[in-house]
Amino acid sequence: MSVIRKTRVLFATRFAEMAEYRAEVIIWMLSGTISLVMMLVWMAQAANAPGGQINGYDASQFATYFLSVWLVGQLLVVWVGWELDFMIRQGTLSPKLLRPMDPMWVEYAAHVAERFVRIGPMLVLLVIFAALSGASFTREWWAYPVTLGLCILGFTCRFLYEYTLGLLAFWTESSTSFSEVAWLLYAALGGLFAPLTFYPQWVQDIAIWTPFPYMLGLPAQVLAGKATLAQAGSGALILFSWVVLFWFARLLVWRLGLRKYGAVGA
Amino acid sequence: MTTSTPDASVHVRDLKKQYAVHEKEPGFMGSLRSFVSRKTKYVEAVGGVSFDLAPGEVVGFLGPNGAGKTTTLKMLSGLLHPSGGEARIAGFEPRKRETAFLKQITLVMGQKQQLIWDLPALDSFLVNQAIYEIPDAQYHATMREFTEVLSLDGILKKQVRKLSLGERMKCELAAALLHRPRVLFLDEPTIGLDVNMQEAVRAFIRDYNERYGATVILTSHYMADVTALAQRILVIDSGQLVFDGDLARLAEQGKGGGKTVKLKLREAVSAAQLAPYGGDVKVDGLSVELTVPRSEVSARAARLLADLDVADLTVEDPPIEAVMAELFGATAKVEKEAVSG
């Protein structure tokens, strides 16, 4: 009962807080459009290519893929590493440590609540971008709940590793540089710049041992109708394994980090 | 009504905290040198502090800036892991940060702590109610009580960022005490507040202590806080406990154990004329102040009354501020002598 109450109250207050920043959320959403820029580049390349295709993708399929990547990317946005870096260095983590609840849950609730502020304008933009680019998503009904499931797993995975990286501020002057590197890997191996099959084979061989292709590229391929239910299922299992791994990694780094905490300032 | 329980006690033994501090020379070259090889210095913020507090006791924790007060409070509340020694608060070891322990304590530091900046304070209270698992009946009773004592009416539904400093502090206090903690660590709870607000906060803390039998450790630069609330004083300087006793005994340590005699004269006299009666003579027109040894107060006062045309005479303990200044000055002097010797 108390877990339900805590979840409800945390979600409600964080939603109210995020709603205060609704204009900023929309602007922030518009700033995260690298995949749409990549869409324009690849669509132009495909239009000029012999047969109007590159690696089996025509302009419309590029539009569908990159718009799907954009959509999934919007649901996977995580800023907790920056929050933790600030909280640890400025000491504002202290009041959160005094409460009988892991501060991670408050941050998780804030991220989930933000998705609900984001989703309305996001769907409007999706319809506009799809109409402009000629993207057409799969008509398989199962693809949509499966994409949502993969997004929840992918978001949790990203949240946990970003949280763990943010905790490195217990030891370093600033942990945000680690988050920058993590973003590059996430974007490159996730398929933000191009579908993973466009990369050299050795890069693809490395990428499948990371969580990134399953977080971003796989749900986008499901939406685009280029991945099967079986591929989505095995991807979900791999993502779940990464979630478990990052859960324990976070716990370990958290416990070690608290011993180093200086509780400066506040 | 006091409802103290044996659990609200505080036991501290040889508590220590050492910090690693990175040092860098100023300027570009300093930055370059620091980039290649960074100098690390270890600073002892708290160097072995021991004391016990009984349940319901209110203690003033005093000391100059950087003495180790806040570091000690942070260790006692579980924010910092001690480098040595041990502490038991309400039967718990703070560094383990067990849920049952966190429900027994609170730490108030500054005015931007618990409250969600962009929402009304009431939302933060609801979050605390859920996190601390406060039953509805207790939550509403506590809110009614706090609203009355702290005059929270009309400010609970305003955005926190739009509250005045004093209003915010009152809401911070209410948020910090909503779960009715048994042990309170209050670090400068009245800093930056005007005189009326300081008095309101003091009255609230006094009322909370009496009502719930809470143990309170209070640090403050305002001696009025300490004299109004604390029965016992702990003085820390350079990480060491240099005094543990009641206010009266602390006052006795001031002015070399002397008392302050204040006179209103009908005829002006010079400082030189007053020198035989006591030390630290201050003359301001017809008002005179001098320090006399505690054991000779009666005799000196009688001589002053006999020898001078006195309109009024009062005998006081030296102000606590003067005692503190003297105490810290003495510590600093001893340290200086030890270094030069």
Q: Are B80 and A262 a contacting pair at CB < 8 A?
A: yes
Nearest CA in chain A to B115: A95
pLDDT of residue B268: 84
Has the ipTM of the complex gone over 0.85?
yes
Mean pLDDT value across chain A: 93
Which pairing describes strands B279-284 and B287-293: parallel, antiparallel, or unpaired?
Answer: antiparallel
Mean pLDDT over residues B210-225, rounded?
88
Q: Which residues of B touch A90 (CB under 8 A)?
A: none
Instruction: Say whether residue B211 is in contact with chain A using an 8 A CB cutoff.
Output: no
Minimal Cβ distance to B74: which of A13, A92, A263: A263
Which segment of A136-150, A220-234, B98-112 scores lowest on mean pLDDT? Answer: B98-112
Mean pLDDT over residues A52-57, rounded?
91
Mutation for B interface: A83, A98, A173, most B CBs within 10 A: A98
pLDDT (tens digit per residue) in B143-198: 999 998 888 888 999 999 999 888 898 899 999 999 999 999 999 888 877 888 88
Mutation for A interface: B31, B83, B109, B191, most A CBs within 10 A: B109
Q: Which residues of A touch B81 (CB under 8 A)?
A: 258-259, 261
Both ends of chain B: CA-CA distance in Å? Answer: 55
Distance in angstroms (rounded) separating the CA atoms of residues B156 and B154: 6
Token look-up 């108030």 returns B108
Beta bridge partners of B73: none
Instruction: Say whether residue A3 is in contact with chain B using an 8 A CB cutoff.
Output: no
pLDDT (tens digit per residue) in A164-196: 999 999 998 788 999 999 999 999 999 999 999
Q: Which residues of A touch B114 (CB under 8 A)?
A: 95
Please list, in sequence order, all residues whose beta carbon lies within 8 angstroms of the beta carbon of residue A132, skipping any fewer than 6 positions away. Answer: none
Please list, in sequence order, all residues whose beta carbon lies within 8 angstroms of the beta carbon of residue B207, skipping any fewer than 6 positions away. Answer: B149
Minimal Cβ distance to B126: which of A13, A261, A263: A13
Q: Are B10 and B217 in contact (CB under 8 A)?
A: yes
Q: Give B314's pLDDT tier (boundaries 50, 70, 90).
A: confident
Distance in angstroms (rounded) separating the CA atoms of residues B95 and B183: 15
Mean pLDDT over residues A99-127, rounded?
94
Beta bridge partners of B245: B233
Closest CA–CA distance from residue B321 to any residue of chain A (Å): 26
Closest CA–CA distance from residue A83 to any residue of chain B (Å): 15
pLDDT of residue B282: 85
